[in-house]
Chain A
Amino acid sequence: MVNGMHSEADGTRAAPPAPTTKTRRPPRAAALAQVIEGGVVVLRRKLSAGELGSLPVVLVLAAVWITFQSLNDSFLSPRNLSNLSVDIVGTGLIAVGIVFVLLIGELDLSVGSISGLAAALFAVLNVNHGVPEWLALVLAVLSGTVAGTVQGYSVAKTRVPAFVVTLAGLLTFNGLMLYILGTSGTVNLDENGLVAKLTSHYFTNDAAAYSVAAVATGLVFLVSHHGRRRRMAVGMPHRSFRVIVVRTAVLAAVAFTAAYLLNRFQGLPLALLILLVVVAGLDIVLRRTHYGRQVYALGGSIEATRRASLNVTGVQTAVLAVSGTMAAIGGLFLASRITSVSQGAGSGLLLLNAIAAAVIGGTSLFGGRGTTWSAVLGMLVIQSIASGMVITDTPTAVQFMITGGVLFAAVVIDALARRSQEAHGRA
């Protein structure tokens, strides 16, 4: 489902040439051939222009899944895939925030600490001070927003690179979290509370997963169909109806397969649903609103953005506020998974995994290229490797080296794509 919706996202910019029938072929075969031809043309243009999008990461994901499935056939079992889909949520949400920061060509190192801070704040407020769960939850998320806003405003005003400001934030917020937790060290959350439910609740009714798949597919179809009709009405180049049908069919196949597998275990996880809704929503914000356009523009050229009389300070502040907020939300999901908050919350590999997920998923480190779906795809790769390593009893050492190798490959692909794009321009 994730995969299918992403390719839709990319495809809006690629209107294949209207099909022309030169030779008479049986209608169905001809139609199929045209769709494939159109796809090949678009693909070739994208490859030569260095716009790989999510193609590499999908190939890597396929390779990882095939490898582990051949080593141990319980890897692609409904149970493991369902767990995988919940495990990616916490870090995945943090990575979505990182995508925003990477898009403006900066880096946020404080997300790990902010996620720990938010979780600690929730735990102490709710468990130790008896604040109602919903209020503690809102305050915890807001703490991330405030932390991000302060950092963003400092970056915009001092013009110090964000990674330096957020490095200070990393230390400050980690210290603040330890201070809030105090001497108690670990706080256990209510096993049946709201936050615990975030990752433990499943919609056990089969209809839930299928209707989500149906609604998503239907929406994508309606939006592309409507866009096509508007373009036809004003005589602009548009996608052929067959292409839309094929794309929707691919999306439907992915979505309904996922729904079927999830229903074979415990049903649709609430956490996965939240992740997909958040990522789809933020994807629309980035690609279809004035705010999102400013984020991409800032990543392209800060000077051009300023001369187009856009509010650079405002956008930089808002972007780091988004990443702080997403870090706080992600932190609550991570706490929910283990129903406790300890002094180690938000430390260790979390920050690196979140950044790696965004980059592996295809978001450029140079700014200006990437979508929120890349966070989900990248996180799927990282978590698949981790899960596969556990299933096949491989030591952690090897897991780190493999994840490192994938990240390195992603960075190299990113750099090559950038160079090829520039070379394309000189031609």
Chain B
Amino acid sequence: MASPPLLALRGVCKRFGVVEVLTDIELELRAGQVVALLGDNGAGKSTLVKVISGVTPADKGVIEWEGSPVQIRRPHDARDLGIATVYQDLALCGNLDVVGNLFLGREIRRFGFLDEVEMERRTSQLLERLTRGVPDLRAPVVSLSSGQRQTVAIARSLLGDPRILLLDEPTAALGFEQTSEVLDLVDQLRDRGLAVLLISHNMGDVKALADRAAVLRLGRNNGFFDVNTAPQEQIIASITGATENVPRRMAHQEAGW
């Protein structure tokens, strides 16, 4: 294990008021790997994503970027590091058009004014690469179908050439064809050397795509698995809590990475 992981969480805690949502979370993401984050409802998966993306910063614990500790206090910090997120609720502005949403917060300017032509050109280039059904770029996002909105959200996350992509339930709202389109895309991104954290309820997706799986239960780590070798029953048992005695530290797993 010569190179340190791209991103590592060590003992991260997060509480909302008196409720401890995340306790001593450990997680490692490496370039060119897809890690599935699994867990029952309320296990803290989405909160963990928001901690990494800076929406709700961690209370305690260390976040390491390529081995050295970094602070992620705001969404801005995460973006500067190269962490992009597709949230479960997509976090799009329904009234803005596709171009406006893609470039929100990093508009291209020309003489101080928005350069709509250039932004539209890059948008259509990016979308043509991602999907077959490019939506109307000037239609407000609220008038797009949910699959098209998902595409827009993913396209936005890829705009800044990120190194880590966090996907919170990217296929939950999609039909069969769009799901496989998204999964193909994740596969491509892994091959291009991105680290991907994928939250999913669908064990089929996880089996097909993920290299490793990290299970959360009640806000704590409840096991790390190599998806290709670990039996599915064991992973599910860990999600449901049938096996709670998996060591929280991942030391014994290190050799396998």
Contacts and interface: CB of A to CB of B under 8 A. Distances in A.
Contacts of A421: 140, 142-143
Nearest to A301: B93
A236 B117 contact: yes
A242 interface: no
Contacts of B112: 289
A307 B50 CA distance: 10
Interface in B78-113: 79, 85, 87, 89, 91-97, 100, 104-105, 107, 109, 112-113
A421 B96 CA distance: 13
A44 interface: no
B74 interface: yes
B109 A293 contact: no
B113 A288 contact: yes
A81 B87 CA distance: 53
Interface residues of A, number: 39
Output the residue of A13, A230, A289, A309 with the most chain B CB within 10 A. Answer: A309
B53 interface: yes
Given A289-B113, A300-B96, A306 B75 contact: yes
B70 interface: no
B105 A310 contact: yes
Contacts of B116: 12
B144 interface: yes
B76 interface: yes
Contacts of A425: 94, 142-145
Nearest to A424: B143
A231 B91 contact: no
B124 interface: yes
B107 A308 contact: no
Contact of B97 (A13, A236, A301, A310): A13
A299 interface: yes
B143 A49 contact: yes
B94 A300 contact: yes
B91 A14 contact: no
A309 B138 contact: no
B117 A227 contact: yes
Contacts of B54: 309
A297 interface: yes
A305 B93 CA distance: 8
B121 interface: yes
B6 interface: no
A27 to B, nearest CB: 30
B28 interface: no
A159 interface: no
Contacts of A422: 142
Contact of A293 (B79, B107, B138): B107
Nearest to B77: A309
B97 A303 contact: no
Nearest to B106: A308
Given A296-B100, A307-B75, A310-B105, A236 B95 contact: no
Nearest to B107: A290
Interface string A268-310: 0000000000000000100011100100110111011111111
A425 B139 CA distance: 10
Contacts of B87: 307
Given A49-B139, A230-B117, A304 B95 contact: no
A297 B114 contact: no
Interface string A222-240: 0000010011001010000
Contact of A307 (B91, B118, B124, B143): B91
A340 B140 CA distance: 47
A310 to B, nearest CB: 5
B120 interface: yes
A307 B138 contact: no
A219 interface: no
B111 to A, nearest CB: 10
Contacts of A227: 117
B127 interface: no
A76 to B, nearest CB: 37
B114 A293 contact: yes
B105 A15 contact: no
B113 to A, nearest CB: 5
Nearest to B55: A307
Nearest to A427: B145
Contacts of B139: 49
A369 B93 CA distance: 12
A234 B105 CA distance: 24
Given A289-B112, A304-B92, A309-B76, 9 more contacts: A230-B117, A300-B93, A301-B94, A304-B104, A308-B75, A309-B79, A310-B105, A368-B94, A425-B144
Smallest CB-CB A-B distances: 7 pairs:
A300-B93, A368-B95, A309-B76, A308-B105, A300-B95, A309-B75, A304-B91
23 contacts: A12-B116, A230-B117, A234-B121, A284-B113, A288-B114, A289-B112, A290-B107, A293-B104, A297-B93, A301-B91, A303-B91, A304-B91, A304-B92, A304-B93, A308-B75, A309-B54, A309-B75, A309-B76, A422-B142, A424-B142, A425-B143, A425-B145, A426-B145
